[in-house]
Amino acid sequence: MGPFLLRAALTGFALWVVTKFVHGLTFVGGHTPLQKLGIIFVVAVIFGLVNAFIRPIVRLLSFPLYILTLGLFHIVVNAIMLWITARITEHTTGWGLRIDHFWWTAIWAAILLSIVGWVLSLVVRRGTHR
């Protein structure tokens, strides 16, 4: 359970960082800082579940596009995972992740989320090897 909570917390932190840099990507809901933190954590868990269950299907179906674009379609798949997470959270509960426009907002968010996630994984990996 520990690694799952750590991964969810890191994903939530990465999502929060991305919302600070990408215009049109925001967290909605929550009136207190603790509620906002809870929303960020729940969105991170839902994002992890979307990546675990839906992403393999999308990757399999879009395999020809991966080959055609030499792997750049991976960014679009990441953007789709963010968009699905936003649809699940905000449109079903009224709180969660909001993406104003799929094409540019989700694409830039996916790129930045990949970079922030990579940097955080390096920091955590370095901290656990000591």
In a domain, 128, yes or no: no
What number is the average pLDDT over the span 40-51? Answer: 95
- Please tell me the total count of domains within the chain: 1
- Residues of the domain holding 78: 36-121
In a domain, 8, yes or no: no
CA distance 11 to 60: 24
In a domain, 27, yes or no: no
In a domain, 24, yes or no: no
Which tens digit of pLDDT belongs to each residue from 48-88?
A: 999 999 999 999 999 999 999 998 999 999 999 999 999 99
pLDDT of residue 124: 84
CA distance 95 to 31: 11
In a domain, 45, yes or no: yes
Strand partners, 27: 97
pLDDT of residue 42: 95
- Residue 4 pLDDT greater than 90, yes or no: no
Helix, strand or coil, per DSSP, at residue 122 = helix
The model carries a pTM of: 0.89
Query: For residues 4 and 74, which has the higher predicted lDDT (pLDDT)?
Result: 74
DSSP state of 22: S
CA distance 114 to 100: 20
